[in-house]
Structure 1
Amino acid sequence: MAASNVEKSDYATSADNAVPVASSTGQETSKKPFGFYMSFLSLVIMCLIVSLDATALAIAIPIMAHELHGTTLEAFWASISFILAVVIVQPIFTSISNVLGRIIPLYTSFLIFIVGSIVFAMAKDMSVLILGRVFQGIGAGGLDVLNEIILADITTLKERPMYIGLLSIPIAGGSILGPIIGGLFAQHAGWRWIGWINLPISALGILLVFFFLKLKAIPQSMREKLLRVDWIGIVLFSIGCTLFALPLPWAGAMYPWASWKTIFPLILGAAILVLFGWYESKPQEPMFPRRIFQTRTATMTLIAAALHGVVAYSFILYTPLFFQAVYFESPLKSAVSILPLSCVSVAFSVIAAVAVEMIRKYRFLILGSWVFAAVGAGLLALWDQSSSLAVKASFQVILGIGTGTLFSVLMIPIQACVHVDDMGIAAGILVSFRLFGGLLGLSMCSTVFTNVFEKKILMAGDLLGDLAALKNAHEAIAFIPVLRELKLPSHLLKAVVEAYQKSLVLSS
């Protein structure tokens, strides 16, 4: 990708990908023009807004559900719908950008993300809020995958690790600051600012793209480009993922597990995904090339990525809820309380990458990470109402070491067993599998929470007055802000909090 003031002799373009080439002396052109740095800044902004938007909402969910009179299922769907949209669109944007070029999908992603942020910020009920989150997820999914693709376009293989490292800074910053910003807005300015704050940041990103990101068009007609897109694969993948994910949150909550309304979409979704896997050997530009899955290492790494997603995203959502419901913390204080998990996870994703570079081995790091993740998850189940600050922080550190290391190390074996030309798409597929695991994890955990809370709250005894709302488990999340303000007998308060504690522990 050439910036507007880069001479053609410094860059060569193939399709719409600008690739730095060797100079006449046989050395890589090392001097970067101003336009390159502005283009890279646009990628930094894309990483930042996606990271902020993905992490800020978990803190504000109880307040949003309370203000908009949302049910527990609707509250969880505010997060699930976002992840579902990201899971579906990331491989779609990857496939389309390889055929149509980067610019059209990039502007489309920005536009959809902005529209989603406005819909979210103006929502008057949970249904509209969830719709806004779907649009945000579509836009964020495109921005997230396109920034990695464009980075590969504008850097050489030798210099790429440095710029990937630089892009980890806004991702880390967003992961750490997102919950704090969400807590600040929810507690002081209003949760709607979680949506409004995206507008000026997105506008800056669009301006940088418009003025500095100059890409050459693919030398084909639009008709030829559209014929190369895997449209059938896109439809099968989208329908299959949606049908498979939809019944998981409502199973046992809205409809019994044995109900046809749960079983039918689940089986149909799985069948369509199997059909999609078979079909992907047919198109010219498949979304998921079969050659990526041909080695046992690749297959097992993708399965591990999906399991990692189940663990990581479940704790991201449910840990702040635990601090608010069990320890009566405000949204902002709960955001501060989960900093050990956020900071350690980010730190060890970087430390692990550096360690692999130094020791040139990764197998024992992966095995060790799973041990830390399993031990950390088990220790978090020991939290109760009397847990000390040291216990709460140290257990998060152990979990963060495991989950953070897996974020970076799992990328190495998948890229080590594919052809160099497939490294980019292999990385994208791994991210998709991790997100799909996160989607399944969040969906199943919401069901577990509702079912367990429904049983545990009955053990609290007679629920009268304000507590009567808790007889319906669908009101549990929206009731958390109210719970902090109630003056209740100690035995009754302890019983209610224990219902939240058990439900959140088992669901996360």
Structure 2
Amino acid sequence: MEQPRASIEATDQEAYDRKIASETNSIEEFTQEGVIKAEKARAVWGLRGSIALWIGVGLSSFMYTLDNGTNYQWGSYATTQFNNYPAYAAIQCASSILLALGKPLFAKIMDSLGRAEAYCFSLFFYLLGYIIAAASPDITALGAGLVIWVIGFSGLQIANQIIIADFTTLRWRGLVQSLTSAWYFILFWANGKITQQLVAPGGPGWRWGYGIYALCYIPALGPIILTLLWGQYRAKKLGLVEQPRAAAQRRSRLSGAWKWIQESDLIGLFWLGASITLIFLPLVLAGGSYATLSWQSPTIPAMMVIGGAVALPIFIYWELKRALFPIIPFRLLKNRTVLAACLISFFDFISFYLTYAQLYGFVAATTNWSLSDITYYTNCQSLCLTFFALLWGAVAIVLKFRYKWTLTAALCVRLIGIGLMFYAREHNSTAALVMTQVIQGAGGGVAAIASQVGSQGAVPHQDVAVATAVVLLSAELGNVVGSAAAGAIWRSALPEQLTNALADVGFTNTTYITMQVGNPLLAQTSFPDLSDPIREAIHSGYSSTMRLMLIPAIVLSVIPIIASVFMRDFHLVDLQNVVEAKDLQGNKVAGGDLETIESGKV
């Protein structure tokens, strides 16, 4: 006899409720101090505290965007003044790895110590790095300063993301996260002017730039640090945060330090850092845009074997068997939404950098655009990313829709944009070139914000920081792999493709070909007429090389679409997450009722 449908639904709901209760109770038992501080601070500071917090987020994101748009140019100019520009490649290699490793490091600091404390660490690395860089007497000191700076830079990026996740509901989170990037609409133009004025003859110079930024970061991060500290202090005064017992207060500093090491999982961070460095640094050293070694060097396979066969297994063993508060909890690896978001970020970034890493050189050689026009063009996709992410966030507030279908659709749009590049690479049509970036930006902007909100909403508050770090770490590693692959293809294929294309029109000047590979703009001055057979041959060589990067890019861009199908779907409602069904103060408001949450009635 068939069981009544209502009975089946009730049984399924009861099973789900028991599962949620079991997982939530287990997680709440081990909720770390930083998470508790954030929830209780939100409960006590009221309207003025909230206003102060969002002012702090706005100031810090402004400084982050300004810094991000100028630091690279200053470093390039500084190393040139030291007559050692090739050394900048080594600095960028180290920075790319530390940029990735900073994500889990600061996530653990935010969970084990607190949100305000993590901002303090970020500010410390910013100030120390820029002071060293500003006072650097040689390239070694400059490199040390910039490497220290990137730790603070990485920390501020993830800290802002986690604070937004702490203090916004799923309904508002997409818009607020997008607003932190809205400064780009102003600064993408201003950054170039600032750099130009700073390093111009008679200008203040790059040292003053680093020094001024060091001073600017204090008022930029000060408001958010003070607001968070005040909220934590008031929550303790009101008894919302448990005070340490007398026995705990008498605990030795050594045991207290060991407890912090365990909660931060510093041993796990070490092995994660060793694994990532040994596996991915060779890709940067041999294949990236800043390559300093060749693939034939014995150092490359040796590092990758040690990383993959020694460091990575040790890291996995430690995380599964020994770590009390692992960097990547096993429950996250079982969470299909987080795992899918990581796959989306990793492969989407590989695909993106395969099409973008050498875009500047391609456009410079195949068009007669000015330097400023090329710069605006290469920024076009970033502007569209920001605009469409803002649009998606605003619509989410009004409609409270299910996010998953928008994510899948956005990734399909992005795939279309990459496919359009096959046409645009062979033609000098400005409209076609621009549309490739607009379409990719539209899809990429929605996909980035939707996958981030989806992964944060599918985990309890205790895991938000770690889940965010894992997704951002996946993106950074995709950046490393994509840039390395693009650099390797460009350097190995472009000379051959140019030689073959120019030989077809009777041009065999190998010296010029070598110069053209090193300076894409040379074609504009040497052969300004786009209809010149030699210029057309140059275009053909660059187009053939770009095709070699577009093929893997379009294939890999299918993987995020498939991964998005496996993400858990839910309405973007007024909850911190859909696992615990809690509000921003940590109070249950839906009792874990899946039907209520997923219907959008919360």
CA distance in 2, matches of 1:266, 1:115: 32
CA contact under 8 A between 1:311 and 1:441: conserved in structure 2?
yes
Pairing of 1:168-207 with structure 2 (within 5 A): 168-174=178-184, 176-185=185-194, 187=196, 189-190=198-199, 192=206, 195=210, 198-207=213-222
The match for 1:262 is 300
- Any residues of structure 2 matched to 1:32-181 within 5 Å, and which? 32-33=47-48, 36-56=50-70, 81-117=94-130, 131-151=144-164, 155=167, 158=169, 162=172, 165-174=175-184, 176-181=185-190
CA deviation after TM superposition for structure 1 residue 228, in Å: 3.1
Contact 1:314/1:442 (<8 A) preserved: yes
Render the CA deviation track for 1:167-214: whole Å, top value 9, x for unaligned: 53232323x445434433455543948756633431322443565442
After TM superposition, the structure 1 stretch with the greater mean CA deviation from structure 2, 73-82 or 366-375, is 73-82
Question: C-alpha separation between the residues in 2 aligned to 1:374 and 1:324?
Answer: 24
Question: 2:39 aligns to what SS in structure 1?
Answer: strand
Superposition deviation, residue 242 in structure 1: 1.2
Q: Could you tell me how far apart the structure 2 residues matched to 1:276 and 1:262 are?
A: 21
Pick one of 266, 276, 281 that aligns with 1:246: 281
The one-letter amino acid paired with 2:414 is: A
1:333 counterpart (353, 373, 377): 373
- Is 1:309–2:349 an aligned residue pair? yes
Task: State how far apart, in whole Å, the 2-side matches of 1:30 and 1:42 are.
Answer: 14
Q: Which structure has the greater CA radius of gyration?
A: 2
Which amino acid in structure 2 is aligned with residue 247 of structure 1? P
Give 1:368's aligned residue: 409
Q: Does 1:273 align with 2:273?
A: no
Alignment deviations for residues 231-269 of structure 1 (CA, whole Å, 9 cap, x no partner): 211111111111112211343676554553222212322
Q: Distance in 2 between matches of 1:259 and 1:275?
A: 26
Paired residue for 1:6?
A: none
Identity of aligned residues (%): 18
Does the CA contact (< 8 Å) of 2:97 and 2:281 recur in 1?
no
Residue equivalent to 1:431: 472
Quick check: 201-210 or 497-506, which moved more? 497-506
Tell me the alpha carbon deviations over residues 462-497 of structure 1, each in whole angstroms, 9 at most, x when there is no partner.
144xx47638x6xx2xx3566655578955555556
Give aligned pairs, total.
478
Q: Which amino acid aligns with 1:205?
A: A
RMSD between aligned alpha carbons? Answer: 4.0
| Pairwise CA distance, 1:356 | 5.4
CA 1:346/1:203 → structure 2, altered by over 3 Å: closer, same or farther?
same
**Are 1:17 and 2:37 an aligned pair?**
yes
**2:498 matched to 1:453?**
no
Q: C-alpha distance in 2, partners of 1:331/1:260? A: 40
Equivalent residue of 2:424, what SS? coil
Q: 1:454-469 maps to which residues of 2 (within 5 A)?
A: 454-459=495-500, 460=502, 461-464=508-511, 467=512
CA pair 112-212 structure 1, distance change in 2 beyond 3 A: same
Are 1:47 and 1:167, in contact at CA under 8 Å, matched by a contact in 2?
A: no
Of 268, 278, 292, which aligns to 1:233? 268
Tell me by how many angstroms 1:307 deviates: 1.0
Partner of 2:9: none
Return the offset for 1:45. 2.5
TM-score by length of structure 1 reads 0.78
Partners of 1:59 and 1:179 within 8 A in 2: no
- For structure 2, the 5+ residue unaligned runs are 1-31, 201-205, 237-242, 503-507, 551-602
- Residue pair 1:293, 1:299 contacting (<8 A) in 2 also: yes
> For residues 396 and 66 of structure 2, what CA distance do their matches in structure 1 show?
28
**Unaligned residue ranges in structure 1 (runs of 5+):** 1-12, 23-27
Mapped pair 1:284 → 2:310 = no
Alignment partner, residue 391 of structure 2: 351
The 8 Å contact of residues 174 and 449 in structure 2, kept in 1 or not, is answered as: no
For residues 469 and 380 of structure 2, the distance between their equivalents in structure 1, rounded to whole angstroms, comes to 28
| CA distance in 1: counterparts of 2:140 and 2:76, whole angstroms | 15
